[in-house]
Amino acid sequence: MPAKRIVVLTAEIVLLVLVFLIIIGPMMSLFIWSVAHRWYWPNTLPQEVGFEYWKQALGLRTSLAIGAISIIPAFFLSLSIAIVVVMISMLIAIPAGYALAKYRIPFGPFIMFLFLMPNAFPQQPIFVNLLYIFTRLGLAGTVKGVVLVHILVGLVFGVWITSATFRSIPSYLEEAARSVGAGKVYTFFHITLPLAAPGLLASSVFVFITSLDEFTGTFFIGLPFVNTLPMTLYSSSGYNMQFASVIAIILLIPSILFMTLVQRVLRAEYVGGMG
Amino acid sequence: MPALRLERIVKRYGKVKAVDDLSLEVLEGELLTLLGPSGCGKTTVLRCVSGFVRPDSGEIYLEDRKVTEIPPEKRGIGLVFQNYALWPHMTVFQNLAFGLEIKKLSKSLIREKVNRALALVQLEGFEDRFPRQLSGGQQQRVALSRALVLEPNVLLLDEPLSNLDALLREQMRFEIAQIHKQSGITTIYVTHDQTEAMVISDRIAVLDKGRIMQLGTPLEIYSKPANKFVAGFMGTTNFLHGRVAKIDKEYAVVTTEDGLTITGRGHDIEKGAEVDVAIRPESIKFLSPAEAMDYAREPNVFEVEVARASYVGELIDYQLRIKSHLIRAKGEARIARGVGIRILIKLDADQLAVLCR
Amino acid sequence: MEANRTRRRELSLPPYLLLIFPAVTFMFLMYGYPFLSSIFRSFINPQGEFSFDNYGKTVDLYLKDIGFTLAVTALSTAVSAALAILLAVYLRLRQNPISRALAALYKIPIFIPFVVVAQMMNSFLAPHGILNLALAKLKLIDLQDPLQLFNFYGLTFGFVWKMIPFSALIIHGGFQMIDNSYIEAARSCGAGLVRVITRVLVPMNRSSILVALVLVYSQIVGTFTLPYMLIGGKIPTTITVDIAHRINYFRDFGVANTLGVFSYLLVLITAIYYLRSSVKKMTGYQASEA
């Protein structure tokens, strides 16, 4: 019945448009605000647009507007923290992921339990108590403390993705290498690691982005001295819509970019690691 | 009135014609098999009948009712899938009752019908089992009974036995043929296995590249293949290429390039036409020394050399060199003919098919 | 000779111990210890003694907020799951340019960090933000009296916005594993769309749906960023915001941890289910490799 097909098709198109509006709407709000110079209701669009706030954010122009500062320092801080976090996290996660994938560890379930708990329970109380502990240790409000917290958040994903990656490499490939005389370490570096490279790379990207975007942990441990990009977003949010939107976009773009690229490799593992 | 009629069905996938202007009539109560290699379009045809594939052009009639535009759930067809598709979260009873509940039958009537259907496939008492508790053969029978319990107008089976091991497959073949006879439902069966098709079918449609190559009873298909494809598909067939030298009623005398003269059955063939002679291994008879004397001057007697001999259980599979050709033959295992031996064979002209190129 | 050989075997450590040591130690120190201490410290009153004082105080001050958190979480989870299932069913059953466009589109919010989502919602749901402006243009509301969304409703919208794609991804993954033949078998038995969804697709995908529910639920309970930036200190607010206030303004770790324990209680059932089934699945992998 052609009539039925037309009805179904129309419904599908309506669905698509609706979903488009709902998803793009809030994003549009961000984009428009970032270039709005003057925007008063009831205009649906700003009266005046320009890149003033972008220039202020990127330090290209100084301004006395409240909350308008160059975010370049915060950007570099976030970036350097993220890089350090990735390096340390992967250094810890890769061996752990390999061990979990390739060996039958007697207390294996207990270890998995430990790594799964952050997914099952709220993490904020952990940050709160870390604050308590770090204050005693003099780590509160320091970059070191923030790095440690970011590693915590990233490690959980890191270990899951690396172990899933290593598990997906058939052991007979390694056994074949061993059977022609390669030792365990040699096999790892020449067979296992190259095959695991895409998954490990995806894992690194994941940890990197997680660190860049990390807010809650940084909020509790880092305040008031460690100003990462998310923290500047938060602090300008109440005062300066345009500025906050600029920072939000700067945070948004690498996240979407990297995650869409990585999603192809991560598909099952990402969902698997989170499920 | 045919139970099912397909009229000029065409289905394209991209540039490829999966079904190419195919027309077919399935008679009431018969079991018709769609037979062919993978990619021949048999599954596509079946899915057109079931309604899960929409033909690009052509019409489908179920008992004179045009169903081409009607969705699958309203066609009243029964489907048996290759992987059985038994819902794992339901018991055997629930699997069978599913379609009956949709028809809003009373609980007692449903129970009665389910019991009857299970009895038909000899699975009484299995109602409360889950599919994972059943063997492959049992799952197959549940799938069959689930289709039958709805008493459909047409039953469609899509390679239902492919996932079973060889022994079970042979057993199930006969069971399916028997169930078909008992229920009398018009059935279309899809398979790539010629033996299967021969055993159970009333008629076979041999398909290749989306077209019907031949439609007929198993005997017709096997003994009177209409073309090279059908002949080749229905078993290991040797083909010798040559020209028709003479026509003698329903026989054609063919000469090959290297000078062999073979007589076989042919129709609609003209003198001088290029043909293939289809020679089945079982039409090749080895002549004992005594017979050699008697038959020496008969047609279709040739001297061959044994090129290869392999034991295949109770038979020996031979490769015989005849002039410039190598042909396959079968012989009893108890008479060993070693490589290099020269012997006489006779080809039974009635079993040879001369086919136009 | 023999004695030496056996002794050497006893002394050698399994190789995985070294590989796993850093990760496990780190998790113990940075997660395990704070977790236990959060529970422990909830029972320590300001005088440093073991008591239930904090619990009394928390219930006095924050019972409404605990209820609020539960309500937002329950509603958001239910709505997200329901809509995600419908979306996933649609994507499973249809294969055309529209469904493909939708499949690419719906995943976007998954990759947007909560901080950015919070900011988006801040501007989008504002009294004179785009949503209200658009509704006013459609003459559905009056701009003098716009929709106030920095509350339960806006928060639910924000959570649902972020969580539907996430759940749909997981649930759709589960649907993809259901072979077409199961759906076709149902249709050949006469089942229409609704019955195919309710009797075949959803029951056969139970595990993915449950996983999505559990993860969404515990994620929402634990989210700080969105409620903090959207609702902030207004009453009522979520447990996470209250915890932050308790720390930032009062340095009151006792009550903060008590609130934390309440949030643990809210997720206790889902957490147990999640941990049990995940560990079972993981040991299943290990066993199959044996």
CATH code: domain of residue B106: 3.40.50.300
Is B10 within 8 Å of B18 (Cβ atoms)?
Answer: no
Q: With an 8 Å Cβ cutoff, is B82 touching chain C?
A: yes
pLDDT in tens, C207-266: 899 999 999 999 999 999 999 999 988 889 999 999 999 999 998 899 999 999 999 999
Structural domain harbouring C122: 65-275
Identify the residue with better confidence: C171 or C133.
Answer: C171
Does residue C37 belong to any structural domain of this protein?
no
The CATH number covering residue B253 comes to: 2.40.50.100
My answer on whether B78 and B211 are in the same domain is yes
Which residues, at least 6 apart from A17, have a Cβ–Cβ distance to it below 8 Å?
none
**Shortest Cα–Cα distance, C196 to chain B (Å):** 11
HSE at residue B116, side-chain half, CA atoms within 13 A, is 13
Does residue C48 belong to any structural domain of this protein?
no
Cα C139 from Cα C135, distance rounded (Å): 6
> How many other C-beta atoms are found inside a 10 Å radius of the C-beta of residue C25?
12
My answer on whether B214 and B241 are in the same domain is no
Task: Give me the total of CB pairs closer than 8 Å, taking one residue from chain B and one from chain C.
Answer: 60
pLDDT in tens, A252-264: 988 888 877 776 6
Mean pLDDT of chain A: 85
Q: Which of B136-150, B339-353, C249-263 is least confident?
A: B339-353
What single-letter amino acid sits at C63? L
| All structural domains of chain A with their residue ranges | 2-50, 72-274
ipTM for the predicted complex comes to: 0.87
Cα C61 from Cα C256, distance rounded (Å): 12
Query: Considering only residues 45 to 74 of chain A, which have any Cβ-Cβ distance to chain C shorter than 8 Å?
Result: none
Identify the residue with better confidence: A27 or C7.
Answer: A27
The CATH number covering residue C232 comes to: 1.10.3720.10
Mean pLDDT over residues C139-150, rounded? 84
pLDDT for position A275: 28
Cα B9 from Cα B44, distance rounded (Å): 10
Q: Where among B229, B253, B281 does a domain terminate?
A: B229
Of all residues in chain B, what percent carry a pLDDT higher than 90? 49
**DSSP-assigned letters across all residues of C163-201:** HHHHHHHHHHHHHHTS-HHHHHHHHHTT--HHHIIIIII
Structural domain harbouring B212: 4-229
Mutation pick from C17, C18, C20, C156 vs chain A, by most beta carbons of A within 10 Å, is C20
Cα A71 from Cα A59, distance rounded (Å): 7
Cα A87 from Cα B99, distance rounded (Å): 59
Q: How many domains does chain C have?
A: 1
- Contact between chains at C35 and A93 (C-beta distance less than 8 A): no
Q: With an 8 Å Cβ cutoff, is B146 touching chain C?
A: yes
pLDDT for position A263: 67
- Contact between chains at A167 and C211 (C-beta distance less than 8 A): no
pLDDT in tens, B100-135: 999 999 999 999 999 999 999 999 999 999 999 999
Peptide bond into C22 cis (omega under 30): no
Q: With an 8 Å Cβ cutoff, is A245 touching chain C?
A: yes
Partners of B85 in beta bridges: none
A246 CB-contact burial (10 Å; exposed 0-12 / middle 13-18 / buried 19+): buried
Q: E strand or H helix at A23, and its extent?
A: helix A2-34
Write down the architecture of domain A72-274 according to CATH: Orthogonal Bundle (1.10)
């050709």: which residue's tokens? B325
My answer on whether B147 and B294 are in the same domain is no
pLDDT in tens, C43-69: 988 888 888 888 888 888 899 999 999
Pairing of strands B251-256, B77-80: unpaired
Which residues, at least 6 apart from C229, have a Cβ–Cβ distance to it below 8 Å?
A234, A237, C115, C118, C119, C121, C122
The three-class DSSP label of residue B92 is helix
DSSP letter for C111, please. G
Partners of B305 in beta bridges: B321, B342
C239: which 2 tokens?
A: 């447990």
A10: which 2 tokens?
A: 């129309």
pLDDT for position B31: 96
Mutation pick from C92, C115, C289 vs chain A, by most beta carbons of A within 10 Å, is C115
Does residue C185 belong to any structural domain of this protein?
yes
- Contact between chains at C283 and A118 (C-beta distance less than 8 A): no
Q: Where among B185, B208, B229 does a domain terminate?
A: B229
pLDDT for position A274: 37
Does residue C271 belong to any structural domain of this protein?
yes
Q: How many domains does chain B have?
A: 2
